[in-house]
Structure 1
Amino acid sequence: MEMSDLTTRLMPFMASDLGVEQETLVGIFQGKRQSVAFHYYPPCPHPDKVIGITPHHDGLGLTLLLHVDETPGLQVRRNGTWYPVNPLPGALVINVGDILQILTNGMYKSAVHRVVADTKKGRATVVMFQHACVAGLVKPLPELGEAAYKAIEKVEYIKGNFRALAEGTWFVDSLKINQKT
């Protein structure tokens, strides 16, 4: 409930930034599913030989991640370079997911990230995924102008996203209409 409430409180800020009605963005998340994952990465004496989680985008609407401890490991890629996201006690890391990228017509982008193992300490996280869609469709908000992504039913989107993850590709890219996005 608290994570849904936090998402609802974040949306007016994003809506203002996008120039859309607050209710539009809030409604995309209200009453939708949530899922949670608990991750534990044990210490690894050879972190160069393993990866905690391979590079990926989050496929859903919004991801809220809580570092349970202070062990580093989360990294974000920008311009081909991996940057650490150092845990701050009590702080949440909030990732835009691919669905939110599509809904915002590419104005907000999902980040490529991964997790690497630590040699001495284990790492624990709690991840809450906030689902989103408009009337069962994943599509750009019409208020944001000409669509840069094809509309797709959410069920088909989820299937395509899982297929792409298994293949090591980004499903969101296959939905682009205008390759400049």
Structure 2
Amino acid sequence: MESNSALYAPCPSLPNVQEMVRTDPFQVPEKYIRNETDITKDAGLCPHLSSEVPIIDLSLLSKGHKEELTKLDQACKEWGFFQVVNHGVATEVTKSLKEAAEKFFELPLEEKNRIAMPSNDIQGYGHTNVDQKVLDWSDKLVLVVYPHQYRKLDVWPPTPFKEAIETYSSEVRRVGEELLRSLSLIMGMEKDAVLGLHQELVQPLSVAYYPQCSMPEKVLGLSAHSDKGSLAIVMQEDDVMGLQIKHNGKWVPIKPIHDAFTVNVGDIIEIWSNGKYKSIEHRVVTNESRARISYSTFCLPHQNAEIEPLDQMILASPGSFPLYKKVTYGDYLRETKKMKSEGKAHVVEVAKIVS
């Protein structure tokens, strides 16, 4: 049976961006350079909107606090994105992961390449978006942490990084489950309904290293896209900005909040909600002076899970008809993987019912 991790994208070997910068900080190969249209893409930059990004208190959500559930509903509907505070993940847990990741990326390339991604999978150290015309200015360590049977321990980093990943991922899994339970409630279902729709919650972790770049205005650390799962839970560095989200056609830079997680709605929540909650398009920019590391945990359904708009969300929609087709999650991934376009075109082409 095909593993969940093999569904994403095979990863041919590519140059290591961190090593390129270390060897020659002024080198930016043509395959990474985007034209001005690609960078701006009909969306101006609106830094003043950063202060309006919704903030959700998980301690209140977990108690079923009605006002906080209403805030979550509005955040998912109007932004597709929010920051989570009071999530209960201890500072020493997040600090341990950050320290271990920094040490890992400081290792010589030959040591990191001992856990390089194989050519037919995404787990390990290397690159994931390799089929694009223009490459992303980043290197990644990608691991499927849960369920255990999808782990490929031969491409896991050594201790203490391995232990830090285990502890952090267990805690973030709890956060993800709490958020999915709250989504169940605001979609008018029993608390565990959305978790049940996943069949089995699959949880990859992506640790991305974005080196500094001598021409930051010409590259992207991560191309504009929406996530193909249910939720993404991201830990950013406190003092280095890079993440930008698309809101009302404009790019909004996200200023990290100390000890907060940034969370965005993925394509599957958009389909289940019949479009009430839109998956958020986002990207990562680089800078000239400092490298940046981010830690993204994804909540995904099992590949056999059936994805379609929920009955109560259809009834609550204008016209009371479904906007998306029924598809298994594995088929959705396979079809979107074939597409080369960035942004959200894959959602329309694979799942949207075109009238």
Aligned to 1:4: 173
Aligned to 1:149: 324
Shift of the alpha carbon at 1:106? 1.1
Of 2-11 and 95-104, the range deviating more from structure 2:
2-11
**Which residue among 163, 167, 170 is the counterpart of 2:338?**
163
Q: Structure with the greater relative contact order (CA < 8 A, sep ≥ 6): 1 or 2?
A: 1
Shift of the alpha carbon at 1:51? 0.9
**Which residue among 102, 110, 126 is the counterpart of 2:295?**
126
Q: Tell me how far apart the structure 2 counterparts of residues 28 and 118 of structure 1 sit (CA, whole Å).
A: 40
Q: Tell me how far apart the structure 2 counterparts of residues 161 and 96 of structure 1 sit (CA, whole Å).
A: 17
Q: Tell me how far apart the structure 1 counterparts of residues 182 and 232 of structure 2 sit (CA, whole Å).
A: 16
Shift of the alpha carbon at 1:178? 5.7
SS for the counterpart of 1:54 is strand
**Which residue among 152, 174, 177 is the counterpart of 2:353?**
177
Aligned to 1:60: 229
Aligned to 2:191: 22
SS for the counterpart of 1:5 is helix
Q: 1:100–1:132: 8 Å Cα contact kept in structure 2?
A: no
Of 62-71 and 22-31, the range deviating more from structure 2:
22-31
Residue 51 of structure 1 pairs with residue 183 of structure 2: no
**Bigger share in strand:** 1
The alignment-based identity, stated in percent, is: 30
Q: Which amino acid aligns with 1:100?
A: I
Q: Unaligned stretches of 5+ in structure 2? A: 1-169, 315-320
Residue 41 of structure 1 pairs with residue 210 of structure 2: yes
Q: Tell me how far apart the structure 2 counterparts of residues 170 and 63 of structure 1 sit (CA, whole Å).
A: 19
Q: Tell me how far apart the structure 2 counterparts of residues 4 and 170 of structure 1 sit (CA, whole Å).
A: 29
**Which residue among 167, 170, 182 is the counterpart of 1:13?**
182
Deviation above 3 Å: which 4+ runs of structure 1? none
Q: Tell me how far apart the structure 2 counterparts of residues 154 and 12 of structure 1 sit (CA, whole Å).
A: 20
Q: Tell me how far apart the structure 2 counterparts of residues 153 and 138 of structure 1 sit (CA, whole Å).
A: 6
Of 111-120 and 141-150, the range deviating more from structure 2:
141-150
Residue 32 of structure 1 pairs with residue 201 of structure 2: yes
Q: Tell me how far apart the structure 2 counterparts of residues 69 and 122 of structure 1 sit (CA, whole Å).
A: 13
Q: Which amino acid aligns with 2:353?
A: I
Shift of the alpha carbon at 1:133? 5.9
Q: 1:37–1:127: 8 Å Cα contact kept in structure 2?
A: yes
SS for the counterpart of 1:110 is coil
Shift of the alpha carbon at 1:69? 4.4
Q: Which amino acid aligns with 1:149?
A: Y
Aligned length: 178
Q: Which amino acid aligns with 1:172?
A: V
Q: Tell me how far apart the structure 1 counterparts of residues 337 and 271 of structure 2 sit (CA, whole Å).
A: 17
Report Cα offsets for 1:56-103 as digits up to 9, x if no partner.
001111100001342101001122211101112221110111011111
Q: 2:230–2:268: 8 Å Cα contact kept in structure 1?
A: yes
**Which residue among 91, 95, 107 is the counterpart of 2:264?**
95
CA RMSD of aligned residues (A): 2.0
Q: Which amino acid aligns with 2:181?
A: P
**Bigger share in helix:** 2
Q: 1:8–1:29: 8 Å Cα contact kept in structure 2?
A: no
TM-score, normalization by structure 2: 0.47
